Amino acid sequence: MLHFFQSADMSEHASRLSGWQQRYDQLSGGPVDAALWVLDIGPIRLFRERLNQAAVQHMQLPREHLNLIFPLAWPQRDAQQPWLLDGLNLLPSQSEFRTVSGAGMDVLCLSMPYAELHGLVSDATLARCRASQAVRGVSLSAPLHQHARRELLDLLRHPEAAQPRQRVLDLTCQLLAGLDALPALPASYSTRHYIVQRCHEMVVQDPQGIAGLVDLCKRLKISRRTLQYSFQSVADVNPVQYLRSVRLNEARRALSRDPEARISDIAARWGFEHTSYFCAQYQKLFGEKPSLCRAH
């Protein structure tokens, strides 16, 4: 059965995809316009997700599942981002995954238990899928790319079509045929992604204890230039904007969870000493005053 969800709230949108335990932090300012189409074919899931705002996406991936992402639009200027618009991407088999999506993201995803593929692809191919520890991308030939895109979109438009499960399995086998040609993830990108991830974690764990970018550089033993380049490369924003957005998103969740708490107290808890500055930045990012969060 096909389900369609549309949302103007980032947290609500992230919660719509059952089984993935997602959390999104909004990065770019303005109202959210998000759409999600979900088609479950037995244990196989096909979905399309569109999001108009840039976001940090945290996901708890389904265990023992193959998860393939097929980007339709992935606004990101860095050529080393491991998302191929002319191919597909294999999400890591580890349970936790985080990425940054630009404003205007549009992706298709196939998610299925590995058991569905037993006997259809080789054990070696399944082992390579399970062993992946980073996002892996594989370019597709133009005919295969166009065929895959057309098949997946057609299934979402016509979920009542005959033999949808077999169509999905046949297509998956075709896509995995290129797995042996997957390029290694550049070490430089892995390092930059790690820097962004560690900074994100440190700010969430101790929002009042991070004195600023110099403090982060000292803790990670990196130069300020490396810090700046890492955020610009991975998230397409500077570290100040990224980490301020993280703290604002956490404050928004706190406001929603505790409607009796004072806005100034929650602002201070997340590192904003001046309530007026917090309110201005909050409104700039989310397009509404902090007090309106309690009405959602």
Residues facing 205 on adjacent strands: none
The answer to whether 200 and 57 have CB atoms below 8 angstroms apart is no
| CB crowding 5-35: b at 16 or more within 10 Å, else e | bebebbbebbbbbeebebbbbbbbbeebebb
What pLDDT was estimated at residue 195?
92
Q: Same domain, yes or no, for 135 and 260?
A: no
Q: Cα(58)–Cα(15) distance, rounded to whole angstroms?
A: 11
Lowest mean pLDDT among 78-92, 134-148, 222-236: 78-92
Do residue 119 and residue 216 come from a single domain? no
Q: Are residues 234 and 96 in the same domain?
A: no
44-51 and 105-113: which strand pairing? Answer: antiparallel
CATH number for the domain harbouring residue 242: 1.10.10.60
pLDDT, the chain, mean = 89
Burial 73-96 (b: 16+ CB within 10 A, else e): ebebeeeebbbbeebbbbbbbeee
| Residue that terminates a domain, selected from 184, 201, 231 | 184
Q: Are residues 122 and 73 in the same domain?
A: yes
- State pLDDT tens for residues 153-207: 999 999 888 899 999 999 999 998 877 666 656 657 778 888 999 999 999 999 9
- Of 117, 151, 184, the position where a domain reaches its end is 184
Please state, in angstroms and rounded to a whole number, the distance separating the CA atoms of residues 77 and 75: 7
Residue 77 pLDDT exceeds 60: no
Q: Are residues 174 and 206 in the same domain?
A: no
pLDDT at 270 over 80: yes
pLDDT in tens, 105-130: 999 999 999 999 998 988 888 888 88
210 shares its domain with 179: no
Please state the pTM of the whole predicted model. 0.86
Residues 167 and 256 in one domain: no
Q: How many domains does the chain have?
A: 2
The predicted pLDDT at position 132 comes to: 75
* pLDDT score, position 226: 93
CB 60 within 8 A of CB 111: no
Residues 32 and 94 in one domain: yes
Average pLDDT over residues 71-90: 78
3-state secondary structure the chain: CEEEEEECCHHHHHHCCCCCCCEEEECCCCCCCEEEEEEEECCEEEEEEEECCCEEEEEECCCCEEEEEEEEECCCCCCCCCCCCCEEEECCCCCEEEEEECCCEEEEEEEEEHHHHECCECHHHHHHHHHCCCCEEEECCHHHHHHHHHHHHHHHHCCCCCCHHHHHHHHHHHHHCCHHHCCCCCHHHHHHHHHHHHHHHHHHHCCCCCCCHHHHHHHHCCCHHHHHHHHHHHHCCCHHHHHHHHHHHHHHHHHHHCCCCCHHHHHHHCCCCCHHHHHHHHHHHHCCCHHHHHHC
Residue 150: CB atoms within 10 Å: 10
With cut-offs at 50, 70 and 90, classify the pLDDT of residue 147. Answer: very high
Q: Which of 184, 206, 221 represents a domain boundary (last residue)?
A: 184
Determine the structural domain holding residue 102 and report its residue range.
Answer: 2-184
Q: What is the predicted pLDDT for the residue at 79?
A: 52
CATH number at residue 10: 2.60.120.10
Taking the C-alpha atoms of residue 68 and residue 151, their distance in angstroms, rounded to an integer, is 14
Query: Mean per-residue pLDDT for 219-230?
Result: 92
- Name the maximum alpha-carbon separation found in the chain: 62
Q: Which range has the worst mean pLDDT, 43-47, 129-133, 177-181, 289-293?
A: 177-181
